[in-house]
A = this chain, B = another copy of it.
């Protein structure tokens, strides 16, 4: 009798499974569909909609009126039986693409696509067309590093602050020490930006597995010193992220940066020589990399400026920005770093970078310069990271 009871208690649970599936509310429409010819089909079920469009960087791009940066075009979708469809007119080149739908003027995410990335307050749906350089944006069957959200204490900012830290595959048990890249986000970004929008985790896993990049620790801090962490991850709670960034590009982050380096050297098995430390960033993060590496010339043996802002904002007289000529002379003097500058031809910061390069040229300071098509976009920053990593720690 007990045996029967127990058998009853342990027999097929199909009911539970199906009942739970019923709770799911799974969309049945396939969107986006990457076709065998590398065209992509988008679908949206919206029987009552009058006009549905798709917008994103997967569509042919045009210059903005100012010519300063690229604006994604909009394409009309066509409706049959309440299902709106659009297929790209031609095959898409290998790349990570993002898109949204516009339903009667309302911009929405694709309810059939769970792969979304947040850029400041805008969330887009994403997909990858593989092949070529985009293959290193994919999660491939290679050894994977560990990605951690770690909190450090900042005495100068009187705050606990959140970092994203990548440690390479094998770190936990190798007992080895590793070089460190500090990788900084742009204005409005946060400690999640490089790992999510930038595919930094996949790029690192793949380049390290291919032997093209040295195994390294990569530290991605939050560059807005008013915030503990990315939206929703700090003690200010699930409130709308602040748009005003009063304490960036005015010297505070740069002067407090050694706190982060000290924390990492204390908590991780790092190589602590200048030649084993790199700093790079995009836009505001490139600006931070420029001024931090100049302020602490013995700290970083490799510097990367990706579409970098150049000029101080808010407080040009902050100590970190003053006496630049002598600081650059010191930085590019004995034991000068590998200095790498990349920018898009259409970037609104192109001219500032041109001026900065002319300063370096006028002094005969050595740097590597890469110019790409396009503007101030993540596509370029993923490419710059992919080109910069293989140069480090050789």
Residues in A lying within 8 Å of B, measured CB to CB: 2-3, 5-17, 19-21, 23-27, 30, 44-50, 68-69, 103-109, 111-112, 114-116, 118-123, 126-128, 130, 138-141, 143-144, 146-151, 160, 162, 169, 172-173, 186-188, 229, 231-235, 237-238, 240-241, 243, 249, 266-268, 283-284, 287, 309-314, 316, 321, 324-325, 328, 348-349, 352, 355-356, 358-359, 362-363, 376
- Complex formed: what's the CA distance from A103 to B106 in Å? 10
Q: Is the CB of B309 within 8 A of A17?
A: yes
Please provide the 5 A-B residue pairs with the shortest distance between their CB atoms, ordered closest to farther. Answer: A13-B311, A48-B104, A148-B148, A144-B151, A16-B309
A152–chain B nearest beta-carbon distance, Å: 10
Complex alpha-carbon distance, A150 and B310, angstroms: 37
Once the chains bind, are A243 and B26 in contact (CB under 8 Å)?
yes
Interface centre among A116, A148, A362 (most CB of B within 10 A): A148
With a CB–CB cut-off of 8 A, which chain B residues contact A30? 240
Decide yes or no: A17 and B238 within 8 Å by CB, A114-B232, A120-B26 being known contacts.
no
> Which of A16, A112, A120: most chain B CB closer than 10 A?
A16
Residues of B within 8 A of A144 (CB): 151, 160, 162
A132 to B384, CA, bound (A): 48
In the assembled complex, the Cα of A118 lies from the Cα of B26 at a distance in Å of 11
Return A324 CB to nearest CB of chain B, in Å. 5
A124–B13 CA distance with the chains assembled, in angstroms:
28
Measured between beta carbons, the chain B residues less than 8 angstroms from A118 are 114
CB distance from A291 to the nearest CB of B (A): 9
State whether A310 and B115 are in contact (beta carbons under 8 Å apart), knowing that A26-B122, A140-B235, A151-B169 are contacts in the complex.
no
- Could you say how many copies of this chain the assembly holds? 2
Closest to A311 in B: B13
Instruction: Point out the residue from B25, B46, B48, B186 that lies within 8 Å of A50, measured CB to CB.
Output: B48
- Please report the C-alpha to C-alpha distance between residue A209 and residue B20 in the assembled complex, in whole angstroms: 35
Q: Can you give 7 A-B contacts (C-beta < 8 A)? A: A12-B311, A13-B249, A19-B69, A126-B238, A139-B232, A139-B235, A144-B160
Smallest CB–CB gap between A140 and chain B, Å? 6
Interface pair A186/B20, CB less than 8 Å apart: yes
A128 and B237 alpha carbons, distance in the complex (Å): 8
A267 touching B172 in the complex, CB below 8 Å, given contacts A21-B187, A139-B237, A231-B114 = yes
Residues of chain B within 8 A of A45, CB atoms compared: 106
Q: Are B267 and A173 in contact (CB under 8 A)?
A: yes
Residues of B within 8 A of A349 (CB): 16
Query: A321 → chain B, closest Cβ, in Å?
Result: 6
Q: Of B68, B147, B241, B321, which is within 8 A of A114 by CB?
A: B241
Partner of A149, one of B109, B116, B146, B187: B146
